[in-house]
Amino acid sequence: MLNLQKTKLLISAGKPEQFPKINVPHIVFSGRSNVGKSSLINTLLNRKALARVSSAPGKTVTVNFYLIDNALIFADLPGYGYAKRSYDRKEDFSALTDAYLSKCDKIALVLQLVDLKVGLTEYDKMMLKWLTDTKTPFCVVGTKADKLNKTELNRAVQSLVADSSVGAAPVIPFSSLNGSGKDDVWRQIYNII
């Protein structure tokens, strides 16, 4: 078991040269802006504010690397699809994400976050296709489950499970508000490391 008390922000990398070189597996948090990536990280690590949760969407503009017990890295990717951002900066962020995903050979698992109320966006589908094509192990984490009633939740999860871009990947409903799904996400991480 990992000692979650021993967790620290390694670096907020704004350029590929800053990506950490230490030799431990990476768990990657990917998804559109505001989907709940930083909140998921805080919940998994039992922290209130280790990863900055944005009041305004699109705040995480770096790849933030957290080192857990000197044995595992959580990589919090910049959120994508935030329309109000200027074109040039948007290009920058995806270049940083591209550089990380294509160059890092320590990626053990990608958690692709999808807002259960919103469903899959075109960019989500692009990411899922890339993950499938590159045979990168991934899970889909459906976020903000607390916002849906039981019927809506079942329907939202089923529609993700049935989507061809998700394929056979696990779909885990999650809420950072009440912690539901937390153990299931950890199980997927422990399965792979």
Can you list the alpha helix ranges (DSSP code H) found in the chain? 37-44, 87-103, 122-133, 150-161, 182-192
Reduce the DSSP state of residue 95 to 3 states and report it: helix
Rounded Cα distance, 33 and 83, in Å: 10
The single residue listed with the structure tokens 């056979």 is 168
57 is a site residue for ligand GTP (CB under 6 A):
yes
Binding mask 58-97 for ligand GTP (x = CB under 6 A): xxx------------------x------------------
Window 138-157: contact mask with ligand GTP (x via CB under 6 A): -----xx-xx----------
If residue 114 lies in a helix (H) or strand (E), which one and from where to where?
Answer: strand 107-115
- CB 185 to Mg ion: min, Å: 16
Task: Provide, rounded to whole angstroms, the least separation between the CB of residue 181 and Mg ion.
Answer: 18
30 binds ligand GTP, rule: CB under 6 A: no
Provide the pairing of β-strand 107-115 with 138-143: parallel
Q: Which of 30, 34, 38, 97 binds Mg ion (CB under 5 A)?
A: 38
Nearer to ligand GTP by Cβ, of 22 and 63: the residue is: 63
How far apart, in whole angstroms, are the C-alpha atoms of residue 21 and residue 64? 14
**Which of 19, 82 has the CB closer to ligand GTP?**
82
DSSP 121-174: -HHHHHHHHHHHHTT--EEEEEE-GGGS-HHHHHHHHHHHHT-TTTTT--EEE-
Binding-site member from 60, 97, 175, 176 for Mg ion (CB under 5 A): 60
Least Å from the CB of residue 129 to ligand GTP:
21
Shortest spacing between CB 174 and ligand GTP, in angstroms:
7
Bridge partner list, 107: 26
Nearest approach in angstroms of CB 85 to Mg ion is 14
Strand pairing of 107-115 and 26-30?
parallel
Contact positions vs Mg ion (CB under 5 A): 37-38, 60
Contact positions vs ligand GTP (CB under 6 A): 31, 33-39, 53-54, 57-60, 79, 143-144, 146-147, 175-177
